[in-house]
Structure 1
Amino acid sequence: MIEMRDVGFGYQGGAPLLSNMTLSLQPGMFHFLTGPSGSGKTTLLRLCYADLIPTSGQMGAFGQDLRGLDRDGIAALRRRIGVVHQDPQFLDHLPLAENVALPLSVAGEPVDMDALRDLLGWVQLAGHARALPPSLSGGERQRAALARAVILSPDLVLADEPTGNLDWEMSMRLMQLLIELNKSGKTVLVATHDLNLIRATKAQVSARVLRISGGTLHLAGADL
């Protein structure tokens, strides 16, 4: 799904942030990405959904070279990748259900109201369909963001510190949803610095743990 070979990235005029990154995300796998704050976890995720393009090395997604994709190609790629950010943004004047359905509207696809209700029920937000985003708690916003990320039924789900602002109970609730997605066949990559969260999740699902250190990517030890 995602293939990196000796990938590097740096902003023009600056030192490389990442270098010699080699990674293969295969269908149905669950990965954690860890490392200290500022190590480049978000940058790596942005490379995966073509928000950034590598400055060196080779990178492909779903069999396509990212360097060769035009605007339409990138848009098609992103339909296959759902992204959950640490601080999800919503249109505050629109009800939750309409926010979750926005990717369908942008893609020019009709909204299946039954499917939308089922999706909101899955993230335990069926009773909040008409609520405005400012009225939601942090945990509710993150579950809404996950629903929005998967409404196009992507093959790959990327989550960038999705539990960073949540308490333990809400964190595990969100992770359970990600585990369910993985068990349904989705590939999942979660960036987090919370080693306790990783350990608790690994008790329920087979997951590889990757660590960014010194701008490069390593497979973490079995003690995690």
Structure 2
Amino acid sequence: MIELENVGYSYGGGELLSDVSVTLPPGSFHFLTGPSGSGKTTLLKLCYGALVPTAGRLCAFGKDMRTLDRDQMALLRRRIGVVHQDCQFLDHLKLAENIALPLVVSGRDTATEAGNLDELMQWVGLAARTDALPPELSGGERQRAALARAVIMSPDVVLADEPTGNVDWEMSQRLMQLLVELNRMGKTVLIATHDLGLIRATKSQVQTRVLRISNRRLQHAGADL
């Protein structure tokens, strides 16, 4: 699905990532760990094309991302769902409308997708909050809504940046269960997190691979911590 070969990224004269090589095969489940500021978010942004490598080669779905024009990149990004750490929503839109925004942007008929949207909101446990505005949501509800929005287009890959960082342990477990279910449906999943306890708890449910960023480089830690 996504392949990085000797990828580096520098910004403002400083090197953030160096010589990163990793492959995310179809249907795989990866955790990305490392201390704050180590480059986890940067690596995720490279994976979905928000940043361009300053060195090396990055391919997604068999295409070199450096060679894609704007329209080609937009089509590729529809195959990658991203759960951002900050969970930004449009406060004047109802929750269901926020979750459906990717459909609107892609030009799809939201009326014909209404059944899928209802099913998705039930899946994340937000069916009763359809008409709620974002400021009325709890932290856990916002995270589940962010996950729903990320997968509304049925992407092949799901990238999540600290999806459990602002919720309690019980909600963390619920969010992880949703991500595990997506993986069992065949989605490739990559989760950036600093919570090693969460990784250990998830390993009993699904085969995982742990990647660790240290000193700007990526270490393949396998399934063990």
Which TM class, normalised by the smaller chain length? over 0.9
What's the counterpart of residue 92 of structure 2?
A: 93
- Correspondences of 1:114-129 after superposition (within 5 Å): 114-129=115-130
Question: SS of the residue aligned with 1:145?
Answer: helix
- 1:223 Cα deviation from its structure 2 partner: 3.8
| CA displacement at 1:222 relative to structure 2 | 4.9
Offset, 1:14: 1.4
In structure 2, do the counterparts of structure 1 residues 114 and 221 end up closer, same or farther at CA, with 3 Å as the change threshold? closer
For 1:135, the equivalent position in structure 2 comes to 136
Q: Percent identity?
A: 70
Are residues 1:3 and 2:21 paired?
Answer: no
Secondary structure at the residue paired with 1:16?
strand
Change (3 A) 1:186 1:223: closer
Instruction: Give the ranges of 4+ consecutive aligned residues of structure 1 lying more than 6 Å apart after TM superposition.
Output: none
In the alignment, which residue of structure 2 is the partner of 1:181? 182
Instruction: Compute the displacement of 1:73 (Å).
Output: 1.1
Measured in 2, the distance between the counterparts of 1:65 and 1:221 equals 26
Change (3 A) 1:222 1:116: closer
- Specify the alignment match of 1:27 in structure 2: 26
Q: Residue 189 of structure 1: CA displacement?
A: 0.2
Tell me which residue corresponds to 2:104: 105
- 8 Å CA contact 2:2–2:61 kept in 1: the answer is yes
Unaligned runs of 5+ in 2: none
Q: Distance in 2 between matches of 1:89 and 1:2?
A: 26
Pairwise CA distance, 1:51: 0.2
Which amino acid in 1 is paired with 2:43? L
Asked whether the equivalents of residues 209 and 222 of structure 2 are also in contact (C-alpha less than 8 Å), the reply is: no
Contiguous gaps of at least 5 residues in structure 1: none
Distance 2:206 2:136 in 1: 33
**Aligned partners of 2:15 and 2:72: how far apart in 1?**
27
- Structure 1 Cα separation of the partners of residues 174 and 126 of structure 2: 13
Cα deviation per residue 1:7-35 (whole Å; 9 max; x = unaligned)? 00001x41211000001000000000000
CA RMSD of aligned residues (A): 0.8
